[in-house]
Chain A
């Protein structure tokens, strides 16, 4: 299957700082990427749909000013957690839809810890 790479895999930051997470499709172009959040032993909750060259579509209850999404190229989407607080600590996962219209492939995830 296609490869989606997320970076960093783990990050620890101080409260009040911002953290950027990158999601790259390595061997295909992805016009659509999705960002999920996952709490321990819980399911994946969709945060937003990222479309190349346009604004992201956020799910209800997700603060767009808190979680900034940029999809500037066909192979890269970024999620920036602004002014992070301990409650933002979570596992963030992206997925990318390949251009051959098969299913979306997931990145490895990013474990964010805000201290």
Chain B
């Protein structure tokens, strides 16, 4: 099935560093979501974006919905050990939140 292009695939960083990851698509999305998944667990929603250009923060996390509606990025500031995990972006084409999500390949973060 269709997937979003998420990069980087993995990253090793020092505690305290800032982290940035992004997702791109060849098609337009109406919603961008960012999730974190810990090993053996289901994904947990971090940030939801619904408007092009929207910039939203959740603690040390900041995400933006690209103006073209074909991309989004997630920044984590001052990383800490508990930030370790896999981060997924997800996009939805439809305007209703009942539509299905398309996931990126994930970014594995190790601190």
Verify if A105 is at the interface (C-beta below 8 Å from B): yes
A7 to B22, CA, bound (A): 33
We find that the number of chain A residues with CB closer than 8 angstroms to chain B is 29
Question: Which of B42, B43, B88: most chain A CB closer than 10 A?
Answer: B42
> What 0/1 readout, one digit per residue, does chain B (87-103) give for beta carbons within 8 Å of chain A?
01000000001101111
Question: Which of A43, A49, A97, A103 touches B48 (beta carbons < 8 Å)?
Answer: A103
A91 CA to B105 CA, complexed, in Å = 15
A93–B42 contact, CB under 8 A? yes
Which residues of the partner chain A approach B40 to less than 8 Å between Cβ atoms? 91, 109, 111
Q: How far is the CB of B33 from the nearest CB of chain A, in Å?
A: 7
Which residues, 65 to 111 on B, are CB-close (under 8 Å) to A? Answer: 88, 97-98, 100-106, 108
Query: Known contacts A60-B1, A61-B1, A101-B97; can you find 10 more A-B pairs with CB under 8 A?
Result: A1-B45, A6-B42, A44-B88, A45-B1, A46-B1, A49-B100, A103-B33, A104-B101, A106-B35, A111-B40
User: Closest chain B residue to A59 by CB distance?
Assistant: B1
